């Protein structure tokens, strides 16, 4: 599991639990009650920020799903009837262009939303584990 600084939110890459950007210790050993309170406050702030980002990412996923439905509708409409009443695919039509644009927008929104949902979920899980770890001590 990746470790994040409780104070600034950056990823901690070294084993000493010392943040490279804010230079604060994130080992949470031998904390008095005031320091533990500050750690819990910071963790709750980060969890609230992550939940706001999660809500935004859910909106990206919903917009992506709506664009995907619109893409399928316009793809269906891009099949036109020819002279002998057969449905023929016409890639030069405006409906197909709209289908491609909606498909591209849908892919972007879905991929961006899902990837950020996973990242935010991991951060939230980490901050909750920090709260539980320091609460036991």
* DSSP-derived secondary structure for 105-127: HHHHHHHHHHHHHHHHHHHHHHH
Q: Is residue 54 within 8 Å of 121, Cβ to Cβ?
A: yes
Q: How far apart are CA 11 and CA 51, in angstroms?
A: 18
Give the total number of structural domains in the chain. 1
**Phi and psi at residue 30, to the nearest 5°:** 55, 45
Instruction: Kindly state the tokens that stand for 80.
Output: 């036109």
Confidence (pTM)? 0.80
CB atoms within 10 A of CB 78: 20
Which structural domain range is residue 18 located in?
Answer: 3-26+33-136
Separation of alpha carbons 42 and 94, rounded Å: 52
Q: Going by DSSP bridges, is the β-strand pair 79-81/87-89 parallel, antiparallel, or unpaired?
A: antiparallel
Percent of the chain with pLDDT over 90: 50
Does residue 1 register a pLDDT over 70? Answer: no
pLDDT tens figures, 73-121: 999 999 888 888 888 888 889 999 999 999 999 999 999 999 999 999 9
**Residue predicted with more confidence, 96 or 12:** 96
């Amino acid at each position: 599991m990746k470790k994040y600084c409780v104070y600034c939110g950056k990823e901690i890459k070294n084993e000493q639990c010392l943040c490279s950007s804010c230079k604060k210790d994130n080992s949470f050993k031998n904390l008095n009650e005031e320091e533990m309170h500050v750690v819990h406050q910071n963790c709750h702030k980060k969890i609230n920020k992550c939940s706001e980002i999660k809500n935004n990412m859910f909106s990206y996923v919903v917009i992506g799903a709506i664009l995907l439905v619109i893409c399928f509708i316009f793809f269906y409409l891009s099949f036109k009837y020819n002279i002998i009443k057969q449905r023929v695919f016409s890639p030069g039509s405006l409906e197909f262009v709209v289908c491609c644009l909606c498909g591209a927008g849908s892919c972007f929104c879905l991929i961006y939303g899902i990837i950020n949902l996973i990242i935010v979920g991991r951060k939230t899980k980490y901050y909750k584990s920090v709260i539980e770890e320091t609460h036991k001590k």
